[in-house]
Structure 1
Amino acid sequence: MNARYAVRWAAEHGVPRLALRAQRRLGDPFARLLSGAEGRSDPYSLIDQLRGTGSVHTGPVGYATFDYRLCRAILRDRRFGARTPIDPAVPGPLRRNAERVVLPPNLTEAPSMLMLDPPEHSRMRKPVASAFTPRAVARLGDRVRAVTTELLDAMSARGSADLIGDFAAQVPIAIIAEMLGFPAADRELFLRWGDVVTPLLDVGISRRTHRRAIDATAAMNGYLAAHIEKLRREPRENIFSVMVSSGDLSTTELIANANLLMAAGFETTVNVIGNAIPLLFSHPDQLDLLRAEPQRWPGAIEEVLRFDPPVQIAARRVLEPVDLGAGVHLQPGKSIIVSLAGANRDPAHFPDPHRFDITRTNAKEHLSFGSGIHACIGASLARLQAAHALPALFERFPDLRLDGEPSRRGLSTLRGYQHMPARLGRSAGARAVPSMASGDRVPGS
């Protein structure tokens, strides 16, 4: 691994990793939440412990809040920025050397919109947002239905399937590949790259994981650079080609936007679909209600998003002095972790929050897609795909059963499954799947 990248790892992940390990050995629930198997398998019991310590928790890697009101306010407050610096607790020489190292464009680095504040954020978001307007997303409905049917037909012929690799991941990667103009043959390539790159969003990853992520990022960016040059020579009829042809963004910015389009269009969707399946099997009364009243599927998807969100945390940097109340004063340069999962289980906003209830009237007030100017740009597309894919799966295979325990991904920030073996049982044949009424405005779009 390049020695300069090792410096970045040491400052951004190595030092926090040591701090988290030390605090985890002492039983600190915050450290256990951000690292270790317990935080990945059952973060919600740890969040309940942390909630009892007050509205703002001070942990080994900064501040955190699990309070719905505070989380929503911070996400919408311009006194907090998205670009988070290296922790000031990192020794000065290491921090200064690390800050001079430029990584290949990725989700955790500017010019990724995830790490930009206005006005740069506004300029970068505008061309990408055109791919996710309600009208643009609605036009994808027929293609989502067709892709879903093709996948279910292929699964039916086999009798068993991995509901992540064969279904939940394949629906969004097919749609996003078409939006970006990639050939179908390259979908699996991007699935492999994405699986290796996404740990960069976690805190305290190992040096080996970081090295693999940077190598995969460089390979993916090389592919994207060649793809962009080809689209400049031979424009095509897809969203990304329009962005390239506009000339508004540099190649580096286009690569960053392509990375974000893949994350916004893929990561949230695969985890929403994947997280929903075991939830419904473990709550058979809710699944029975959906089978009897399929018009409840959009509400069920909102409850899945609230109950087990695909993105668990977001980080913000304090730009000016902020008084959060209860004696908590944050100074510029400090960082705070916003627990989206904690906000979604806050009993002050969601009564009986640990009960999975698809009839919950305020489920769509969850913060799973964030809030404010950094709200997930792919939220409406994720909802659309889940609203087609999940009903179609359960309609086609009424005897569907999991075949063993699904395995979780080894991540703390992104929550989803790696594998989910299943027995399909008899196939009921393709049927029309109910969807949201054409006049409904998709929340979060």
Structure 2
Amino acid sequence: MTDPLHDPGFFRDPYATYDRLRGAAPVQKVPTGSEGHYSYLVTGHAEARQAFADPRLSKDTARFFAGQASRRNLHPAVSRNMLASDPPQHTRQRGVAAGLFTAGPVARLRPYIEQVVDGLLDGWEPGTRVDLVEGLAAPLPVTVICQLLGVPRDDRAMVSRWSNELFAAGRPDRIDAASHAIGDYMTGLVASARRAPGESLLHLLIQQGDEGPLDPDEVVSLAVLLLVAGHETTTNFIANAVLALIQHPESLARLSRDPDLIAGSLDELLRFDSPVGIATFRYSTEALRLGGTDIPEGAAVLIAPGAANRDPARFAEPHRLDLDRSGAAGHLAFGHGIHRCLGAPLALAEAEIALRAIVTRFPGMRPAVPGEDLEWRQTRLMRGLQALPVVL
């Protein structure tokens, strides 16, 4: 049996594959990666929610790969970050970062986000064709997170390129090289911030680290994580949401008539086409049973929020976009449990502001190419477009 998660058709439309796998079993053993490697894939909603919160499924990848022969050469700031750790290390680091993206700080960011969105859209002319990914979905979140971290304007395109390279499926050499580029860069940025006091998010991390539980390497790794996670998934969120709306023109027209409905539609847009297809790696620290399937100790476990969000056992008519859907907030696009996305409030604010501006300025926006001609990123982790050509 071949790896069902690397078929070219899977990246174009993973939902047929998810339905087939879930129909066989909500948790099952599937071949992944190189010959002879298997993982347990979780595609059911109830099972995914349970797995996200199960302490027997560890995210400590360094511990999992310890002693195994490997040719990988990831920078420690990438391989040993908060996302790849368990309590108490995870609890300690998340405690430092948790207050940075709560409702209050995000609300204070909204005027800046609106300014960035307006600046990006001011150059768009009705009747012209633009790439929504290149013109808005990619630059908006990277501009915001780089501004927060104090990344100089001239470095932002370079940093964004390295971040994108971290998800180059099937190219471990490119991933490793990008990890060192971005890890070394952030090490230097942290050192510069230590020498020049300021009020950026990076300065706040340094201060809290110096006064609290973080060592200097953890400050760097947390900064790298915030930089990468702070824009990659939000880019996909915005682009996937716009694609869903232009492919459902009645929904687009409705939001154009009443943009105040956008905030309440975000959960359904996240559920419908999650920006994360399959969550980052976990493994079982002991034998367990999940969704009727026995998982042995030491097995790789992949949780698929993209599949869980289309589970008919949880969402009626899951393949239909319904902006009035009751219970859409039960989606798992941000994960669940102690590793739930820390930046969810910021992502929601950026998406809401971006969508409001788009539907207000360009209510008649339509696809510039057929859906089957769209190019999707070749990675099972991210569900995102390479480009989204639209006619304004």
With normalisation by structure 2, the TM-score equals 0.91
Q: Deviations over 1:142-199 (max 9, x none)?
A: 1111111111112349944221111111111111011101122221111211111123
- Aligned residue type for 2:324: T
Residue segments in structure 2 that go unaligned for 5+ positions in a row: 32-37
Q: Deviations over 1:70-114 (max 9, x none)?
A: 1101111212211247989xxxxx963329x7631354x21x111
- Aligned residue type for 2:25: G
Q: Distance in 1 between matches of 2:68 and 2:286?
A: 22
Within a 5 Å distance, the mapping from 1:274-353 to structure 2 comes to: 274-314=239-279, 315-324=281-290, 326=292, 328-353=293-318
Asked if residue 43 in structure 1 is aligned to residue 14 in structure 2, the reply is yes
Native 8 Å contact 2:273 2:306 kept in 1: yes
Asked if residue 232 in structure 1 is aligned to residue 200 in structure 2, the reply is no
Q: Report the equivalent of 1:397.
A: 362
- Aligned residue type for 2:273: D
Within a 5 Å distance, the mapping from 1:127-276 to structure 2 comes to: 127-156=96-125, 159-199=128-168, 205-206=169-170, 209-246=171-208, 247=210, 248=212, 249-276=214-241
Q: Distance in 2 between matches of 1:325 and 1:211?
A: 36
Q: Report the equivalent of 1:63.
A: 40
The CA RMSD over aligned residues, in Å, is 2.1
Native 8 Å contact 1:311 1:340 kept in 2: yes
Native 8 Å contact 1:407 1:417 kept in 2: yes
Q: Distance in 1 between matches of 2:134 and 2:54?
A: 38
Residue segments in structure 1 that go unaligned for 5+ positions in a row: 1-22, 25-30, 89-93, 200-204, 425-445
Native 8 Å contact 2:40 2:295 kept in 1: no
Native 8 Å contact 1:264 1:379 kept in 2: no
Asked if residue 411 in structure 1 is aligned to residue 379 in structure 2, the reply is yes
Give how far 1:317 is off. 1.4
Native 8 Å contact 1:75 1:372 kept in 2: yes
Q: Deviations over 1:112-149 (max 9, x none)?
A: 11110000001111222222111111111111111111
Q: Distance in 2 between matches of 1:332 and 1:84?
A: 14
Q: Distance in 2 between matches of 1:321 and 1:221?
A: 35
Q: Distance in 2 between matches of 1:397 and 1:157?
A: 7
Q: Distance in 1 between matches of 2:222 and 2:125?
A: 36
SS of 1:383 mapped into structure 2: helix
- Aligned residue type for 2:319: H
Q: Distance in 2 between matches of 1:406 and 1:42?
A: 11
Q: Distance in 1 between matches of 2:134 and 2:244?
A: 18
Give how far 1:399 is off. 3.2
Q: Distance in 2 between matches of 1:316 and 1:415?
A: 19
Give how far 1:415 is off. 0.6
Q: Deviations over 1:299-320 (max 9, x none)?
A: 3221111011001112321123
Q: Distance in 1 between matches of 2:246 and 2:336?
A: 30
Distance 1:157 1:44, change over 3 A: closer
Distance 1:308 1:255, change over 3 A: same
Aligned length: 379
Distance 1:325 1:218, change over 3 A: closer
Q: Report the equivalent of 1:358.
A: 323
Distance 1:256 1:158, change over 3 A: farther
Within a 5 Å distance, the mapping from 1:66-145 to structure 2 comes to: 66-84=43-61, 96-98=68-70, 103-107=74-78, 109-110=79-80, 112-145=81-114
- Identity score, percent: 35
SS of 2:303 mapped into structure 1: strand
With normalisation by structure 1, the TM-score equals 0.80
Distance 1:62 1:382, change over 3 A: same
Distance 1:158 1:210, change over 3 A: farther
Q: Report the equivalent of 2:34.
A: none
Of stretches 412-421 and 372-381 in structure 1, the one that deviates more from structure 2 is 412-421
Native 8 Å contact 1:345 1:353 kept in 2: yes
- Aligned residue type for 2:135: D
Q: Report the equivalent of 2:35.
A: none
- Aligned residue type for 1:385: E
